[in-house]
Structure 1
Amino acid sequence: MRKQLALSTIILLSSIVNAQEQDYVVSCSAKSLLFPKQVLSKDAKNLDISADHSEVAGDNYLLTGNAVINSAEYYLAADKINLQKATKTSKAHGNIKFQNAGIMLTSDSAVVKKQDSTFKQVKFHYPESKINGQAQKIVNNGKEQTFDSVSYTLCPVGNTDWVMKAAKITLNSKANKGIAENVTIELMGVPIFYYPHYEWKLKGRSSGSLAPTLTTFDDSHNDKNGYQIRIPYYFNIAPDRDFLLTLNHVSTRGEAIEGKYRQLFDNGRIEIEGHYLNKDKISKQKRWYVDSKLDLSLNDKTALNIISKRVSDKQYFKEISHDNTRETSLISSVDLAYKNKENNLSASIFAESEQLVGHNNDAEYTRAPEVFIHKKVVGLNGREVNFSIVSTQFKHKTKGTNETGTRTHAQATFTRDIKTSAYSLQPKFEISKTKYAMDDKTKKDRSIYSFGIDSKLFFERDTRLFGTGVTQTLTPRLAYNYTPYKNQNALPDFDSEKMSNTYKNLFSGKKYTGLDKISKVNDITFGLESDFIDQKTGETYLALKIAQAHYLDKKAGKNYSNIIAGADLTMGKFTFNNALEYDTQLSEVAKHHSALSYVSNARKFITLTQGDDGEQRSAGLYGAYPITQKVHAFAGINRSLSDSINNKKTIGVAYESCCWAIRVAQLKEITSNSKFDNVVKFEFVLKGLASSNSSLTARLEEDIPNYLSYLE
């Protein structure tokens, strides 16, 4: 009986969802049972028997009035129980309660045997899987279980907002097979889905339909309203292989076929996804998309990763799939990596190519290929030496206006970590040689070294903050970094960008990312960190940071860098985060970002943000509010204050119950030329089964900070 209906609640849709690794469960805190849970006997040989009246005739026992049989395997209670000891059979009548390790049920009459049991007019409940329902009859012959006129749900006991009904369900654990006849899914008493015949595996994955997806949108060609329906079907080919086939009907463009094949190996996996629209109704062109991935462990130290992404045109995501609309480029790559932890040796060969998508995107340099070798040597007392060499061939789509060639960079870094309870010292010395072999036959090189030391002092004291006992830590920080001047005007710039001024970057001794630009540095950086930590909970109430660099060699006429400061305050449900960059020369704030939040829970919160990145001022308002116990609204807006344009706007409403949920969200985002991508997505969830649009979850959590988008 244990394996019968738990039957994998994977019955029908749920089995498919589990195979797809898309658990999406609406849960409730109520833990209702059919009857109070009983403690089974610990005596494996004997039965515990009790009743108001008992009669014994040979090996037959007739128990009447609150009759109970309790064993190590099951609990049985009824108005009347006839126990036949010779055949180990119990016949029960009236107000039956039965419980074993997996199931609880009530019925009118029952015959319980070790290998063959029958229950009539049954209500059943599997507490672990939360399945509950009723059946006209349940028969378990030890090999096969059958349920006649059965209905079940994953709603709490007594709630039937949605149910699955079947004329008959047969489960064969030996054949690992389940069969259901005339299956209907009902929501609020209304049939919404029907299967005349369905078969599935009791263990493992099954083929079958997934929930369809519905989206509405404004077509970018003529701003005409359209809708999209995705109807997916899942094929369980083998334990290590599956295939998802989806019909994507786009009202303004036509029908596209989408397929995704996955296969597991002993040492890796492969995924191949492809979309194809034979003829676009508007452009009259073929539209397609291909995305394949291969992850393979060649041995315990070597791994191969291949990614190939291509699309027929730049507007495919916006016009056909209505997903991944934020993609600006598709990167295809091959990466062969070796890592030996015992010898602290690693190496890799990497190559990539780029396809631009969307409008007004500029191509970047691509590595084709890049060879990297790294060796770490660990000495005594925290001494460490890192040797590395990386050789990269850079290519660009516009060869005429962009230099191309091969850069080879060799570097040795010597460090030592000295740390006590009172202070820490981290000296570092770095020397490197960079050579450029350009495609125009010119050769260029650079040799350079750098030195730095980072030091901290650790202080702490007990004090009080807002009436709470806290431990305050105080960490003065002083760092010196030196890199001599090198004229690098003749060197190409493949991958360097100016680093933003952050607290961490001020202490790094670097001004640029990448390897092409290494700026002169002769700086002393002062910093101060302080945390106020709750003595009981260990939570940090207030975290403060401030730092500034002093240029020993003036830079652009300045003796000091901008001041970088940050403060993070948490007071119960309120949090305040602030980071700023203050220009001491102009006596003004150059950049800043602030966020104030009140978070009661994931369905009741509000967040205000305001910032200036030096180029654009922006503000954001995000929140969710419960209109009723089951209905909540959510919204998020990010507005550019510089040009009075809403960059992104998300608004929606959701209904949640213990059994099902529905959500609708409008997603509006500026793309290019002041045009907007405007999409409305619908999501429908049956508890324990599937979400009709699980991709909406990640999008909402990205657009609305603090919003837990899973419908629970």
Structure 2
Amino acid sequence: MRELPLRTQLRLIPLLLCCISSSAMPAGLGPLVVSPDLVREGGGKAPVPSASPATAGQAAPTTGAARTTSPAGPKAGSPGVTTKQGTTSVVQPVPTAPELEPGATEIRAEHIRGTRSVETIAEGNAEVRRDDMVLTADRIEYREIDDEVHAVGNVRLKDTEASIAGPEARMKLTEHLGQFDTPDYWFKREPHEKTGIDAAHTSPWSNMPLKSGSKSSSRQKQSQATSAQREVSGGGHADVMYFQGENQYELKNATWSTCQASDPDWYIKAPELHLDYDREVGEAHNASIVFKDVPLLWWPWADFPLVGQRQSGFLSPTFGVSNKVGLDISIPYYWNIAPNYDATIAPRFMGRRGTQLATEFRYLTPTEKGESRIEWLPRDNVTGEDRALGSFQHQQILMPGVFGSIDVNGVSDKHYFEDLSSRVSLSSRATLLREGRLSYATSDWWNASAVVQSYQTLSGVAPYQRLPQLTFNANRNELAGGTSLILRSEFVQFRHVDEDKPEGNRLTLYPQVALPYERAGYFVTPKFGVHYTHYDLDNGLPAVPGGPLTEGRTINRTLPIFTLDSGLIFERDTSFFDKAYVQTLEPRLYYVRVPTRNQDEIPVFDSARYDFGLAQIFSENLYSGGDRIADANQVTAAVTSRLVDGETGAERLRATVGQRFYFDDQQVTLPGETPRTGRRADILGVFSGRVSRSTSLDSAWQYNPRDSQTERFNFRVRYSPDIGRALNLSYRYSRDVLQDLDLSGQWPLGGGWYGVGRITRSLKENRITESIAGIEYDGGCWVFRAALHRFATNPEDVTQAFFVQLEFNGLTSVGSSPINLLRRSVAGYGKINDPVGDRIFGTD
């Protein structure tokens, strides 16, 4: 789906040109004011001027809607300002021109002459001003009766949104009718605030369209929405520009480009070009895009957005190459059904696989939004099977505080993404979610939800289905003495696609009471709860491993749980490199006591061991889910030190070291898990922060003091001084599991060229698991990108994809975009022709 880029609206303000006054005056005359009745915007008739004794050299009254002045102060050899006072001629100095009232017109020139209320002729550096419009020329004639201006010689029209230059222009100001001969023009317009789908939703299908009705055309991909919007502008040259009413411009033998150079690298060329700023659309007939003097694309008829609206029409075709699908070409058509509904239909031609049809539909109303996507490939040339994908997401406010959502995804076979997608994030997916959810939250202290959830499994072990899952949670923390009452409750019915798996219902109730005591410099929080679980099993675990399931039964488990969390906070003022900081020292102790209960007969529906880390050592349970509550008699000791900016309060550095100490051996485990022995857990160390304005560092270390070995170590450093400049180095180590080195970056090579890439190497397996090599060139108003992506979908299979894109800033792009790939793969990647975009999300 697309959100069209905001293009410049060229509104030639009351069409500029000269809004002028009139009066018969010699050179050097003071202000001449024209009656407002002579320049009216209502289209009424201008009154016929009455006979007047004034002749050239006589001054007109200085009241009215317009005035004419010469340069301030009389010049030697120039006539002054002459007025009749009886029989005496008095030469007066030229007064300083007062500020123009809204709608008033001012003329300045070296020489001004004419007939009062009929015609004013300004010669020599002539200049006309009305509001924020300025018209300059060698010679300007203004006829008040017709409200018409005629400018000759070095004509230039400027206002806040347009600049037009040429040898001659003629224009009726009020009616916005006229023409500009052989103009060079440039328009700029601030983007409109987005509404509807554009404001609330972004899509991976982004390309601003060049629309066509029933005729062929192309359309550009649109940028992803960002909070940082930029001014959009464009212009070109024409044999003639016709003003056809306010916001309507017709150009003959014209060009249009966002390049500001007099000889642009690219431009649209058309015998007829119409700019309609009422509809915010530019329309071109027999048009072509010319790049470096070479025509690239041609349409019999096409139109393109001038500002920020979406339009129906073909998108620019995309193409690429991959070893899985061969030559890959897509020709999307965008259908702007309504401001809050749109769709995209995209035939995709794959050299090895055949022709696929993809459709996407989006909608947005005040109470709901969603999108659906369908892909269908009839009879894959490789597998001989029909292949398809379906996806539907919907969110809705059913009533105040009541929310509903649906998220359904599915594919025809488990190898669909691996065969037909060039994205590693899709090719490696193990499951596809299918879920319906209803939630209720009208209070700030309790909420409830109902969920129906299942998965399509593409690889690995299928998870259990929840048919349904009901939850109710409450937390009252405003009781006397700061006491908090907490309730966590859940009912789940578990089902599985494998008949050999146990099934049943689980009810969990976990009421808790906490008594937090906090003072400046320390805190103590004791908490006590009772965790009750009831199982109603349709069938139980086998009596012996691998044996048949036992008959259904009920199981109850009740466990009291006590925790005590406490800590101290010390602070001191310090300084580094003459900058003030606050350094903290924060020791913390966390004690957990859970008695032992034999849980071997309880099936494992959703429990797994948490990844060991700082968050886990300050938690009650070793396991996720509700099927295992680990016995515990343990204390965690940790100390954290932070460095905080003394002026802004921003945290610059943080370091933490912690360890858990056990008073008893572990008794409760998952099936097949070896229980822990010993009294000390691994030591954890974490260091993170911004060591300089451009450099950030993150590291985590897990050390086993029993074996004197490092269990895990992660390290990442990032240097990013500016957009388009980012270097990343990361190292991941897990004992006996993995050892990966990752390098990525984007950096200018000089002359507008940028290099971008990533390489991930498994040191354990001695092979490259993923690599990206790309180049970019910034031509100022266009960008070229090329990237080769290679990744391993499994140890024996490798997918390769090639991306090539030529983007014309503000108009369209040709080829397949690697931008999303580069953003996902290279931390800090910045789109080089979008300097105001967000550094992480940016615009496409």
TM-score by structure 1 length?
Answer: 0.88
3-state SS of paired residue (1:127): strand
**Superposed displacement of residue 301, structure 1:** 1.6
Query: Which runs of 5 or more residues in structure 2 are unaligned?
Result: 8-97, 190-231, 540-551, 667-675, 835-844
Question: Which digits, 9 at most, give the CA deviation of each residue in 1:509-536, with x for residues without a partner?
Answer: 2211111111112222211111223435
Conserved? CA contact 2:367–2:397, under 8 Å: yes
3-state SS of paired residue (1:317): helix
- Which residue type is aligned with residue 245 of structure 2? G
Question: Which digits, 9 at most, give the CA deviation of each residue in 1:90-143, with x for residues without a partner?
Answer: 221111221234222212222241222432221222233221222222223335
**Superposed displacement of residue 337, structure 1:** 1.7
- Which residue type is aligned with residue 756 of structure 2? F
**Superposed displacement of residue 41, structure 1:** 6.7
Which residue of 622, 626, 638 maps to 2:748?
626
Residue 65 of structure 1 corresponds to 124
1:430 and 1:102 map into 2 onto residues whose CA distance is 67
Which residue of 678, 698, 711 maps to 1:590?
711
Residue 115 of structure 1 corresponds to 175
Question: Which digits, 9 at most, give the CA deviation of each residue in 1:143-162, with x for residues without a partner?
Answer: 54322222111123435111
Residue 133 of structure 1 corresponds to 236
**Superposed displacement of residue 564, structure 1:** 0.8
1:624 and 1:199 map into 2 onto residues whose CA distance is 36
- Which residue type is aligned with residue 668 of structure 1? R
1:292 and 1:276 map into 2 onto residues whose CA distance is 15
Conserved? CA contact 2:422–2:800, under 8 Å: no
Question: Which digits, 9 at most, give the CA deviation of each residue in 1:577-611, with x for residues without a partner?
Answer: 22101112122221111123333334334322222
Structure 2 residue 294 is matched with structure 1 residue 190? yes
Which residue of 681, 687, 702 maps to 1:567?
687
1:382 and 1:480 map into 2 onto residues whose CA distance is 21
2:475 and 2:601 map into 1 onto residues whose CA distance is 32
Conserved? CA contact 1:368–1:392, under 8 Å: yes
Residue 467 of structure 2 corresponds to 368
**Superposed displacement of residue 211, structure 1:** 1.9
Residue 216 of structure 1 corresponds to 321
1:426 and 1:384 map into 2 onto residues whose CA distance is 11
1:689 and 1:418 map into 2 onto residues whose CA distance is 61
1:42 and 1:482 map into 2 onto residues whose CA distance is 82
Closer, same or farther: CA 695–187 of 1 in aligned 2, 3 Å:
closer
Relative to structure 2, which stretch is displaced further, 600-609 or 511-520?
Answer: 600-609
Conserved? CA contact 1:178–1:200, under 8 Å: yes
Which residue of 686, 690, 704 maps to 2:808?
686
**Superposed displacement of residue 267, structure 1:** 1.6
Residue 170 of structure 1 corresponds to 274
Residue 415 of structure 2 corresponds to 315
Conserved? CA contact 1:115–1:140, under 8 Å: no
Greater share of residues in strand: 1
- Which residue type is aligned with residue 361 of structure 1? G
Residue 152 of structure 1 corresponds to 256
Closer, same or farther: CA 429–111 of 1 in aligned 2, 3 Å:
farther
1:24 and 1:69 map into 2 onto residues whose CA distance is 31
Residue 354 of structure 2 corresponds to 254
**Superposed displacement of residue 416, structure 1:** 4.5
1:201 and 1:708 map into 2 onto residues whose CA distance is 25
* Aligned pairs for 1:405-420 within 5 A: 405-420=504-519
1:24 and 1:638 map into 2 onto residues whose CA distance is 38
1:711 and 1:175 map into 2 onto residues whose CA distance is 27
Residue 609 of structure 2 corresponds to 498
Residue 396 of structure 1 corresponds to 496
2:305 and 2:791 map into 1 onto residues whose CA distance is 44
* Aligned pairs for 1:1-20 within 5 A: 20=2
**Superposed displacement of residue 57, structure 1:** 1.4
* Aligned pairs for 1:238-387 within 5 A: 238-323=338-423, 324-341=426-443, 344-357=445-458, 360-380=459-479, 382-387=482-487
2:292 and 2:516 map into 1 onto residues whose CA distance is 66
**Superposed displacement of residue 566, structure 1:** 1.2
Identity over aligned residues, as a percent? 24
Residue 56 of structure 1 corresponds to 114
- Which residue type is aligned with residue 664 of structure 1? A
Which residue of 172, 189, 204 maps to 2:309?
204
Conserved? CA contact 2:275–2:282, under 8 Å: yes
**Superposed displacement of residue 630, structure 1:** 1.4
Conserved? CA contact 1:24–1:710, under 8 Å: no
Closer, same or farther: CA 609–445 of 1 in aligned 2, 3 Å:
same
2:302 and 2:788 map into 1 onto residues whose CA distance is 36
Residue 7 of structure 1 corresponds to none
2:497 and 2:404 map into 1 onto residues whose CA distance is 26
1:698 and 1:445 map into 2 onto residues whose CA distance is 50
**Superposed displacement of residue 263, structure 1:** 2.5
Question: Which digits, 9 at most, give the CA deviation of each residue in 1:265-310, with x for residues without a partner?
Answer: 3321232211112222222211111112222221222222112212
Count of equivalent residues = 671
Residue 609 of structure 1 corresponds to 730
**Superposed displacement of residue 250, structure 1:** 0.8
Closer, same or farther: CA 687–417 of 1 in aligned 2, 3 Å:
farther
Residue 8 of structure 1 corresponds to none
Conserved? CA contact 2:320–2:816, under 8 Å: no
Structure 2 residue 140 is matched with structure 1 residue 81? yes
Residue 164 of structure 2 corresponds to 105
3-state SS of paired residue (1:75): strand
Conserved? CA contact 2:775–2:785, under 8 Å: yes
Relative to structure 2, which stretch is displaced further, 572-581 or 40-49?
Answer: 40-49
Larger radius of gyration between Structure 1 and Structure 2 = 2
- Which residue type is aligned with residue 439 of structure 2? A
**Superposed displacement of residue 687, structure 1:** 0.6
Closer, same or farther: CA 404–689 of 1 in aligned 2, 3 Å:
farther
Report the RMSD for the aligned CA atoms in angstroms: 2.6
- Which residue type is aligned with residue 790 of structure 2? K
**Superposed displacement of residue 255, structure 1:** 0.9
**Superposed displacement of residue 468, structure 1:** 4.4
- Which residue type is aligned with residue 830 of structure 2? L
Question: Which digits, 9 at most, give the CA deviation of each residue in 1:482-508, with x for residues without a partner?
Answer: 222222111111111111221222112
Question: Which digits, 9 at most, give the CA deviation of each residue in 1:178-200, with x for residues without a partner?
Answer: 54312211111211111212356
**Superposed displacement of residue 430, structure 1:** 2.6
Closer, same or farther: CA 648–142 of 1 in aligned 2, 3 Å:
same
Closer, same or farther: CA 321–639 of 1 in aligned 2, 3 Å:
closer
2:128 and 2:641 map into 1 onto residues whose CA distance is 66
Query: Which runs of 5 or more residues in structure 1 are unaligned?
Result: 1-18, 26-39, 220-224
2:240 and 2:816 map into 1 onto residues whose CA distance is 37
